[in-house]
Amino acid sequence: MDTLQDIDLKTLTKKSFWKSSAYIFLDISILFCILIVAWQTDNIAITLVAILLIARQQNALGVLAHEASHLNLYKSKNANLFIGRAFMGACLGISFDAYKHAHFLHHKHMMTKKDPDLVFIEKFPIAKNKLWLQFLPDLLGLSWLYLNLYYLNYARKNKIALVTVIASLVPGLIWHIGLISLCFMAGKWWFYFLYWVLPMTTLVPMFMHIRGICEHAGREPSRDAFRGARSVKKNGLAMLVAPHNYNYHVEHHLVSNVPHYNIPRLHKSLKENEYYCKEAFAANYREAIEKLIV
């Protein structure tokens, strides 16, 4: 489909040091504010809201790590590598280097048997009474465990050096060791597990799963972004499960080196595309999922 002829890709793919830094600073600042409130509260309602919001921020920083895998944050490859390793290790507990290699397979073999993400969405369309079963492994922490084992096994099969995999986990491990040490010294050892490990291993995988279903389930095995992916209108749920404009997923697969803050401009340019609006765009996440229920 000839959709890019009138788009200024040079401008859209331009990276801004200040914009990327501002989004990183904002996400980290919000996260620390939530952690401070959680540290001081013993209110159950506030605790539950804090866990949800921490998961949202972990997810947001994970999305920025995804941006780093495409070298979309900074011009420097090393800067992207450091940010990607730090955020993915700290917020998702996953090896960035192993993830990056596997993620490129997703772009290259979208919705085919070689797509590593296919395992999470291949059962769609699905019966309505079985939909909730899709998310049970997420909430039990099994999806998080599967992802870690998958990426480590992928690294082994593709001969990614063990030292590289370990190195990619070091920045995140520093955060984990620092946080758990602080909690133990303050006599709040449980804080680390309740407010960091719990959302990271349950809610974040569920957010990623919802996002993956809405982005690709029911689409065609094709490298054509319009046929293999789906975008969703930005709304409240999108802010939770798909921060930093990740909801515009067709756009990302169409031109993967467009930074997240420029994706809305690319989306705007596609609104005149009849096929995109009719077949590859959903008004909200509920509509996207309802299309996949039989």
| pTM over cut 0.85 | yes
Six-digit token pair at 153?
């096994």
Bridge partners (DSSP) of residue 103 are: none
Mention every residue, 6+ apart, whose C-beta is less than 8 A from residue 266. 7, 12, 248, 251, 254, 255, 258
The one-digit pLDDT tens for each residue of the chain (294 residues) are 455 656 778 889 999 999 999 999 999 999 999 999 999 998 999 999 999 999 999 999 999 999 999 999 999 999 999 999 999 999 998 889 888 888 888 888 888 888 888 877 877 888 888 888 889 999 999 999 998 888 888 777 777 777 777 778 888 999 999 999 999 999 999 999 999 999 999 999 999 999 998 999 888 888 888 888 999 998 888 889 999 999 999 999 999 999 999 999 999 888 888 888 888 898 888 888 888 887
Six-digit token pair at 241?
């499960």
Cα angle: 225, vertex 231, 235; to 5 degrees: 165
SS3 168: helix
AA letter at 5: Q
- Cα torsion 206, 167, 180, 175: sign: negative
- Contact call for residues 226 and 1 (beta carbons, < 8 A): yes
AA letter at 218: G
Closest-CA residue to 194 (of 30, 29, 54): 54
How many other C-beta atoms are found inside a 10 Å radius of the C-beta of residue 276? 21
d(CA 285, CA 76): 35
Q: Where are the domains of the chain?
A: 9-290
